[in-house]
A and B are shown apart, each in its own frame.
Chain A
Amino acid sequence: MTNEQRPQDDRDEMLSRIVDAEASSADWLRFRELAAGDPAVWAELSVMQRQQDELVRAVERATTPAARVELDEAELDRAMPDERLRLQGRLDVVSRWGGWAAAAALVLVWATGFRPAAPVGNGGGAIDGMRGSGSFVEAGLGPRLQEATPSDAFERYLSAGKATGSVLGEMPDRVVLSTTPLESGVVEVVFLRQIIERRVVDEVYRPSRDEHGDRVVLPARVAPGAGRAF
């Protein structure tokens, strides 16, 4: 900044503040003094004000549609799903998991001929390597199961399953699907418990679709030592 430029800057800034209605009383005093000696300052101010008005209108005209752009709700959903959507997302997970479970059950059926709907306790579904397939029969639970509380029955299922090797354990984390405050001041929590089971089967199949889009299961090759998770 040169010494010659500063007075010009000061003058421009003072006029600019007047145009922008940000002038102080000292600015106005200086303006009157300047205008008393040089009436052209009035014309300069007038030009600046007119140009500012025109520029404001031009900018408004140029930006009006753009300055009303709304956020994309789909983008919002992706970036920060609300509680309802979070729940839906979890239900989708459950749904997918349910689909996998259904497909897995189907695969097991194809592979072994086992029928999960076999009556509990009559041993009708138990076959070598597939004993029980998740039923309480495999876990060594008898008719007394119906008399137990759900919690007791579940614990018995876990311990009996572990004893026979068909239940490896329960995942430590429980997936909360929803929490709903109830009128009495308590909170209803709906959650998933995830049990890890183990089976030894003769063959494995994978769910797929045929050329018509119908669901089918196809034999899956599993290379020795290539343990693969779902």
Chain B
Amino acid sequence: MLVAAAASGDRDAVRDLWQMHRGWVAAIVLAHKPREADLEDLVQTVAVQFVRTITELREPEAFKPWLRTIATNEARAAGRKTTRRNRLRREAMDTARAIAHGRTDDGAPPTSMDQQSTLLHIALDLPEGYREPLLLRCVRGMSYRQIAAVLDLPETTIETRIARGRRMLRERARAAQADPEEADNNTDDAASPARNDRRLGAKR
């Protein structure tokens, strides 16, 4: 078994294991990282942690949740390093994004790429419990069962969360089309992890 071989220090197994799982690791980091943090840098940090600690993994069946924990920890650590300067930069980027998304008076219609970016922006502002399975579902080939294995949750819970996440996505995308200012207020509000957790807790 590949995980067991990697945990015993087999370098080829470690490489294979990383290549098999780095796709969803990137999606997890994307779901948790602060906007200012560079995704590639963070995934590189996760890779380093993965190499340093894989030999400490005692239960091969817990590999996916274990790797997911590394990814979320690294992303959250990056979040704690967020400084005021970064927040200001984020505000500037939001302004730039708003301009790029056709919220100026130039009257140009949004492009398909703009719509994709907007949708991702909205998805990243969903409460954690919903955005994580939703983004994992976007990693090609990941079934409900595989997502459940990564998040260490029952498959039925994953189904429910993806469905609810999509509903929220639909509603917020519709609201963003109808009133961009209101949508901004909503996403800013939802961007607070504490509030997200409270909301998620309430819905659980």
A contact residues vs B (CB 8 Å cutoff)? 8-9, 12-13, 15-17, 19-20, 22, 47-48, 51-52, 54-63, 65-72, 75-76, 79-80, 82
Max chain A CB contacts within 10 Å: which of B25, B162, B166? B166
Chain B residue nearest to A50 (CB atoms) is B115
User: At the interface, yes or no: B120 with Cβ under 8 Å from chain A?
Assistant: yes
Q: What 1/0 mask marks residues of chain B from 43 to 73 whose CB sits below 8 Å from any chain A CB?
A: 1100110111011000000000000000000
Of B7-15, B82-90, B100-108, the one touching chain A: B7-15
User: Which of A16, A62, A65, A67 interacts with B120 by CB under 8 Å?
Assistant: A62
User: At the interface, yes or no: B169 with Cβ under 8 Å from chain A?
Assistant: yes
| Chain B interface, DSSP helix/strand/loop, else mixed | helix
Contact present for B51 and A61 (CB under 8 Å)? no
Knowing A63-B39, A82-B11, say if A55 contacts B163 (CB, 8 Å).
no
Chain A residue nearest to B167 (CB atoms) is A12
Contact present for B143 and A22 (CB under 8 Å)? yes
Contact present for B170 and A17 (CB under 8 Å)? no
| Chain A interface, DSSP helix/strand/loop, else mixed | helix
User: Which of B11, B120, B144 interacts with A55 by CB under 8 Å?
Assistant: B120
Contact present for A17 and B159 (CB under 8 Å)? yes
- 6 shortest interchain CB distances as A-B pairs: A58-B120, A58-B116, A12-B163, A16-B163, A59-B138, A63-B26
Distance A193 CA – B17 CA, assembled complex (angstroms) = 40
Contact present for B164 and A12 (CB under 8 Å)? yes
B residues in contact with A15, CB < 8 Å: 163
User: At the interface, yes or no: B160 with Cβ under 8 Å from chain A?
Assistant: yes
Distance A63 CA – B26 CA, assembled complex (angstroms) = 6
B residues in contact with A69, CB < 8 Å: 22, 26, 40, 43-44, 47
Q: What 1/0 mask marks residues of chain B from 122 to 166 whose CB sits below 8 Å from any chain A CB?
A: 010000000000110111100110000000000000011011101
